[in-house]
Amino acid sequence: MLTRSRFAKWIPLLVILVLVTATAAFARIGGGESFDSGNSSSDSGGDAGWIIDILVWLCIEHPQVGIPLTIMVIIGYVIWKKMNDGDSSTRKAIDKAEAERRTSVSATAVDGWVNALKAKDANFDLMKFFDRTRREFLELQDAWFKRNLEPVRKYLSDATFQRLVTQMKLMELMGVRDAIADARVLDLQIIGLEQNESFDTIHIRVTASLCDDDAPSNFTDEQALALARKKKPEQFVEVWTFVRKPGVVTKVEGDVSQGKCPNCGADFAGGAANTCEFCGAIVNSGTYDWVLAEITQGSQFQPHAMVPDGFAKLRQSDPSLTTEALEDRASLLFWKWVESQVYSDSSRLAKVAAAPFVAEVQGGIEHLQKQGKVKFFVECAVGGVNTQQLTQANGKDIAAVEIKWSAKIGIGPKGTKPPQLPSQPQRYVMLLERASGAKSSADNGMATNRCPQCGAPLTDNGQPTCEYCGTVLNSGERDWVIQDFGGWEWWKSKGGQPATAAAAPVARPSSAKMGNAARVPDKEERERLIFLMAAMAMADGVVDQKERQLLKMASDRWSVPWANVELALNAPANTMFNKLIVKGSSEAESFMRELVNVALADGKIDSREKKMLEAAAAHVGLQGRLGEFLK
């Protein structure tokens, strides 16, 4: 029999377990805000149901223990909730302020952008474009809530559609769904315009509100709606980026958002092929109408154009090459790579990655399967995709595309909840390759998940060929495929050259850079570097008190929450990064230079910073060489 004295010792543990497993909503379409919320150490998407079952059982079978314990748990949870709500509200306020700073523009700038658009398209009407954006926003929220994105596929570039589909699948694997209610668009504002010979790109700031929560995946729409309506409306800011070929004239009678083919005007209901049955136009290519190419959280919007090294040279032989389509393709392939990991199925890459890369992914999957484990990507989100470099070698065109992303990455038995981890900012570079002389498809545009031979949409049937025309797709003969994928330091160690700021002015809000600010990494990059330092320290064994103090100093100075660093230090092995830096390598040298850049933010390195850098150098096998990186 379970006596009061025997059970008493479990009371503190149960209270802690209830608090740890309390859930925090990370809804909103696509989960994109989780990239903003890297400061949060809460374990979103958890499930405290089993603890509730224990408490109910105790209240029935042992009320003298169960009732007092339940009261204690409720009081403890209320206290914990109030404490964490304060943290959450502060983070949200900071994110809101950052979003406003990044997306504020002048009336003069807006007038200039509208005039520039009307000079090429006399039918362009900003108010009507806002009406269209509002309509698409609400339709997209509804489709996301109902877990069926097909009705809005016609509005989205292939990469944006793939992103949302994958994020929805990740939530399903965690046993949750988004509960959304009362979505409203509060304000719309054009905050940027870029025009080149390939595309016109409009950035629209969307200020909106909705009630949201996480619901169990088996909740019906009615149950999820009722749950969401118990929450207070939350206001947020997103930037929606639309892309269209230059020279396209706005249709007065209707567009794709009004159920019309943007090319011939026939009725268009949508469908997986996104092709008009009358004229054959690919409606989401950006060739005939605006297509939604990106959704960015306001606090992550990057208003600076970059010029990738080698772009002008390669474009001489491929006039249809655009960074917009290239980055859409890279984003598409990133989400397919994530899917292959979480489903332990490398065949999902069969059509879009070179055979050696697929084999490498399969090797990692099999290694985990032998241990009875899988990899988890919780709250996975992308913060930015930027082309860094284009080169040619050995008969191949090679594109280096930087992908900033974040996730709670865990490894554990299949079907179990992953361990509590911080959301880890990651900075990777995807190397894409294709045969030199290959030409980009002007017709496909932003429809980047299509056969380059026949234009048919690609499927996930696990075969490296097009199921319609039989063209081999993973050879890179006609289109970009993944050749390799690794961390920022890994790429720089291979001779990668980061893109530079555009020399010519672009139609985006500007931000002056002064002194050392130009070389100081952003919040996510600083957090990534600290996590990497922690991971390298853990790889050598126990992290002693001195090392913890140095990491705490870096966390304070770099504005990285120490709670997240502690989670990283307590994380199970092999959950922080896919690959650690090889000691003594050129990759390690690149890592040290990145650390020095941050330490030099104030123009000097004091004694404590020097000790931290010395410890980091020792962990990456560069003892005694710190002086080289300080020059």
What confidence tens digit (pLDDT) does each residue in 280-322 have?
999 999 999 999 999 988 777 776 556 788 999 999 999 999 9
d(CA 589, CA 604): 20
> Minimal CA–CA distance to 103: which of 235, 240, 243?
240
Confidence bin at 198 (pLDDT 50/70/90):
confident
Query: What pLDDT, in 10s, does the model give residues 536-586?
Result: 888 777 788 888 888 888 888 888 888 888 877 877 656 656 667 888 888
3-class SS of residue 87 = helix
d(CA 269, CA 612): 60
Confidence bin at 418 (pLDDT 50/70/90):
low
Higher pLDDT residue, 480 or 444?
480
Whether 506 has a pLDDT exceeding 70, the answer reads no
SS3 content of the chain, % helix, strand, coil (to 5): 45, 20, 35
Sign of CA dihedral 417, 233, 96, 305: positive
d(CA 335, CA 627): 41
> Minimal CA–CA distance to 616: which of 559, 540, 557?
540
Structure confidence at residue 352 (pLDDT): 96
Asked whether 259 and 267 are in contact (CB, 8 A), the reply is: yes
For tokens 């199970």, the residue is 572
Mean pLDDT across the chain: 82
Helices (H), 254-322: 311-317
d(CA 515, CA 530): 24
Whether 190 has a pLDDT exceeding 50, the answer reads yes
Two tokens at 537?
Answer: 């320290």
> Minimal CA–CA distance to 293: which of 251, 244, 236, 237?
244
Higher pLDDT residue, 353 or 171?
353
Q: In what order do the strands lie in the sheet with 396-413?
A: 373-393, 396-413, 424-435, 481-487
Structure confidence at residue 435 (pLDDT): 96
**Span 363-373, average pLDDT:** 90
Structure confidence at residue 471 (pLDDT): 95
Structure confidence at residue 82 (pLDDT): 55
Asked whether 259 and 210 are in contact (CB, 8 A), the reply is: no
Confidence bin at 6 (pLDDT 50/70/90):
very low
Which CA distances in Å does 141 have to 182, 212, 255, 344?
Answer: 10, 11, 20, 30
Q: How many CB atoms neighbour CB 541 within 10 A?
A: 7
Confidence bin at 425 (pLDDT 50/70/90):
confident
Whether 358 has a pLDDT exceeding 90, the answer reads yes
175, HSE (Cβ side, Cα atoms, 13 Å): 12
Q: How many CB atoms neighbour CB 530 within 10 A?
A: 22
d(CA 33, CA 296): 9
Class of domain 94-302: alpha beta
Which CA distances in Å does 183 have to 210, 232, 235?
Answer: 4, 12, 10
Positions of E strands within 461-605: 481-487, 500-501
Whether 40 has a pLDDT exceeding 50, the answer reads no
Structure confidence at residue 18 (pLDDT): 40
Weakest-pLDDT range from 84-98, 261-275, 333-347, 385-399: 84-98
Two tokens at 561?
Answer: 């929450």
Query: What pLDDT, in 10s, does the model give residues 432-465?
Result: 999 999 999 888 889 999 999 998 999 888 999 9
Structure confidence at residue 411 (pLDDT): 80
d(CA 264, CA 240): 26
Asked whether 68 and 7 are in contact (CB, 8 A), the reply is: no
Check: pTM over 0.75? Answer yes or no: yes
Whether 224 has a pLDDT exceeding 70, the answer reads yes
Q: Give percent of the chain above pLDDT 70.
A: 80
Query: What pLDDT, in 10s, does the model give residues 594-606?
Result: 888 888 877 788 8
Weakest-pLDDT range from 25-39, 96-110, 328-342, 592-606: 25-39
**Span 512-522, average pLDDT:** 48
Structure confidence at residue 624 (pLDDT): 86
Structure confidence at residue 9 (pLDDT): 44
Whether 361 has a pLDDT exceeding 90, the answer reads yes
Confidence bin at 503 (pLDDT 50/70/90):
very low
d(CA 225, CA 182): 9
Helices (H), 302-445: 311-317, 323-342, 355-370
Asked whether 57 and 66 are in contact (CB, 8 A), the reply is: yes
d(CA 534, CA 547): 9
Domain 304-508 has CATH 3.10.450.240: yes
Tell how far CA 152 is from the center of its chain. Answer: 20
